[in-house]
A = this chain, B = another copy of it.
Amino acid sequence: MDLEEMGSRAAEAKYELQRLTTQEKNDALLAVADALRDKYEVILEANRKDLDAAKEAGMSEGLIDRLRLTQGRIEAMAEGLCQVVELPDPVGEVMETFERPNGLHIEKRRVPLGVIGIIYESRPNVTADAFGLCFKAGSAVILKGGSDALESNLAITDVIRESLSGSGVTRDAVQLITQTDRGVTAKFMRMDHYVDVLIPRGGAGLIRAVVENSTIPVIETGTGNCHIYVDKDADLDMAVNIIRNAKTQRVGVCNACESLVIHEDVMQDLLPKLAKALREKHVQMRGDEKVRTIVEDCIPATEVDYGTEYLDYVISMKTVSSLEQAIAHVNRYHTKHSDCIITRDPEAAQRFLSEVDSACVYWNASTRFTDGFEFGFGAEIGISTQKLHARGPMGLKELTSYKYVIRGAGQVRG
């Protein structure tokens, strides 16, 4: 279908979606979950086409695994929708009310965003997950997935759309862009007359392309060059434990630790045991000169290392002689995602927490907690690393806007 036609349908659908009650939305979501379970064979069949094409194109095993669906993974998608049903509906919440001296009654009310665009290159499960969150938040969604997963995404979208129709809800609550040429994505990013917000989910390259080319307001998500700073008053065992967790519990995620900053006063005591812990997990260390005099197998770190999100078993290490230097280093190289100070000193912690310019700042805890589920939001569409609208983990609430409803009795302005 033509992009303009899709935009127009989504813009039409949003009015129907914002009128739905919570019950109607939940019923429709449960029906979609059932439909995904019922039709898993159709989805797996489509997925096989994607997998075959990927193998033929010589895709790596890791990427093929991301692309692969199983009955279990489809069950997880359905389960995800059931979890969204359990979440409170953010739409309609009265956020504030105030009365003006002229008698005007002003209400600030939470409303759906309207039409959300999502461009993603990751696994096909995003198709169902993103639909579920946008739908519960009262918005229509237009999806543009990776071309490698086109057949899978199409099958999933078809199941959802058919189920919605069965529930008496517009199937245009979710639409998938099926064209795969580059021009289509470029055009999609400029449909600000239909789309209220665009959320890219994927690697730094995708996100940069969207920021560069979109005329739709964008929420930047994902890139995380997360730092941990070990202060001179740190509990060093705690430091080793947190760093090991933040670096190695899962390396390919945006809230993993990529860069260490270490106060010189503790490097002699910290580095040997830290290096041992990291070696055990096969983490390659790249450090400055002072680190390398203590850690023999540490290779030299360059400027590039300090600014790199490795998403791999690699970590950079930089020594500093003061808290100020540590904060300056973090603010220079981080991606404003999640950064941590390990210290016993509340004053040092306070300063770090205030002055490090990140969505999430931690005192004595792993950066891996930056996550909608870990924060108790019950869901997550992504981690925002910009300052407009939402920052950090984005749940249902962060997928809404607000409007002012003003009630008068004939007031005019004097």
Contacts and interface: CB of A to CB of B under 8 A. Distances in A.
Interface of A: 14-15, 18-19, 98, 100, 104, 106, 113-114, 192, 196-197, 211-212, 215, 217-220, 235, 238, 241-242, 244-246, 249, 331, 349, 353-355, 357-366, 368-370, 374-376, 386-389, 391-393, 401-413
Contacts of A211: 192, 215
Contacts of A401: 387-388, 391
A409 B362 CA distance: 10
Nearest to A408: B365
B358 A410 contact: no
Q: How many copies does the complex hold?
A: 2
B355 A388 contact: no
B369 A413 contact: yes
Given A197-B387, A211-B215, A361-B403, 11 more contacts: A113-B387, A196-B386, A217-B387, A241-B410, A244-B412, A359-B404, A362-B406, A365-B407, A365-B411, A370-B404, A391-B404
5 contacts: A246-B412, A361-B404, A363-B405, A363-B408, A365-B408
A411 B366 contact: yes
A187 to B, nearest CB: 14
A113 B391 CA distance: 11
A100 B387 contact: no
Nearest to A351: B19
Contact of A407 (B244, B364, B389): B364
Contact of A412 (B15, B106, B368): B368
A331 B407 CA distance: 20
Contacts of A412: 241-242, 244-246, 249, 365-366, 368
B217 A215 contact: no
A358 B391 contact: no
A96 to B, nearest CB: 11
Contact of A104 (B244, B365, B386): B365
A10 to B, nearest CB: 13
Nearest to A106: B375
